[in-house]
Structure 1
Amino acid sequence: MTDDAYLLLLTETAAPLGVPPAAVGELACMETPAVRAWLDAQGVTATSPKLRLVPPEDTAAVPDDAERLPVPLGDEELSRLRQHTGPESVARVEQELLAYRDCTDGRDALLGRALAAGVPLNRVVELTGEDPAAVAAAAG
């Protein structure tokens, strides 16, 4: 397995693999000189239906004779790619986890501010559903 995702061109006989890069959204790698030159050399555009993007964990399934180019993806780009290549039920749960992460970002600071503003510990616990020990630890 590699740490890079791959851009590849599907042949007529190749089984569907990966997703079209456009399905993942904007990707920084698509504007790099290396990718542009590779696309030009292959005679395709970034929107070609034969062009696919494969996550690192699926690169073993890429046929040996496939035209391919390793491309590094940022964490957010890789997360979006995995959401598009995995089962819909997994993608849905991953979206919920990302929403949870976004909600809890700054949690300790908020709990500390609440206590510093004079909101009693038991009220913070009641409002947040957090464990009293966790609220007290966040203030410390």
Structure 2
Amino acid sequence: MTDDAYLFLLDDASAPLGVAPAAVGGLACLETPAVRAWLDAHGTTAASPHLRLLPPEETAGVPEGAERLPVPLSDEELNRVRHRLAPEPLARIEEDLLAYRDCADGRDNLIGRALAAGVPPHRVVELTGVDPATVTAAAGR
């Protein structure tokens, strides 16, 4: 396995392999001189339906003989690529998980503010559904 995702060109744009970078939106690697030169050398653009992208764990799926280029992706870009590759039912569940993560990001800060304002720890547990140890840990920060 490699740590890089791969851009590659498909002969048949209707093949259900990888994700079109244009469908993922705003990938920094598409603006690098190396990727631009590679696209130019192959007479294509980032919007081409023949251009596809696979995350590192799936690069073995790049067809034998396909023109390919390893590209680094940020964690956020990689998440978007993986999300686009997931079948629809899984994609919806992934969206729910991401929404939960976004809600939970400020949890400890919120719990700390509630405790500082005088909300009793048992009430924080009741309101948030987190276990008492999490409330205790947030109180110590």
TM-score by length of 2: 0.91
2:42 maps to 1:68: no
Q: Equivalent residues in 2 for 1:33-112 (5 A)?
A: 33-112=33-112
8 Å CA contact 1:10–1:16 kept in 2: the answer is no
The aligned length equals 140
Give the share of equivalent positions with the same residue, in percent: 74
RMSD: 1.7
Query: CA-to-partner distance for each residue in 1:72-97, whole Å, 9 max, x for gaps?
Result: 00000000000111211221111111
8 Å CA contact 2:6–2:59 kept in 1: the answer is yes
What is the alpha-carbon distance in structure 2 between the residues aligned to residue 84 and residue 94 of structure 1? Answer: 10
> 2:30 maps to which residue?
30
| Uncovered stretches (5+) of structure 2, i.e. residues with no partner | none
SS of 1:92's partner is helix
How far residue 11 of structure 1 moved from its aligned partner, in angstroms, is 1.5
Runs of 4+ in structure 1 over 3 Å off: 12-16
| Uncovered stretches (5+) of structure 1, i.e. residues with no partner | none
How far residue 134 of structure 1 moved from its aligned partner, in angstroms, is 2.2
SS of 2:70's partner is strand
Query: CA-to-partner distance for each residue in 1:17-42, whole Å, 9 max, x for gaps?
Result: 10110111110000000000000000
What is the alpha-carbon distance in structure 1 between the residues aligned to residue 91 and residue 3 of structure 2? Answer: 21
2:14 maps to 1:4: no
> 1:127 maps to which residue?
127
Query: CA-to-partner distance for each residue in 1:58-78, whole Å, 9 max, x for gaps?
Result: 211212210011110000000
How far residue 131 of structure 1 moved from its aligned partner, in angstroms, is 2.2
What is the alpha-carbon distance in structure 2 between the residues aligned to residue 81 and residue 12 of structure 1? Answer: 20
How far residue 54 of structure 1 moved from its aligned partner, in angstroms, is 1.3
How far residue 15 of structure 1 moved from its aligned partner, in angstroms, is 4.4
How far residue 107 of structure 1 moved from its aligned partner, in angstroms, is 1.2
What is the alpha-carbon distance in structure 1 between the residues aligned to residue 135 and residue 102 of structure 2? Answer: 19
How far residue 13 of structure 1 moved from its aligned partner, in angstroms, is 9.5
| 1:63 aligned partner, one-letter code | P
What is the alpha-carbon distance in structure 2 between the residues aligned to residue 43 and residue 116 of structure 1? Answer: 62
Q: Which moved more, 1:122-131 or 1:51-60?
A: 122-131
| 2:124 aligned partner, one-letter code | V
Q: Which moved more, 1:92-101 or 1:9-18?
A: 9-18
| 1:34 aligned partner, one-letter code | A
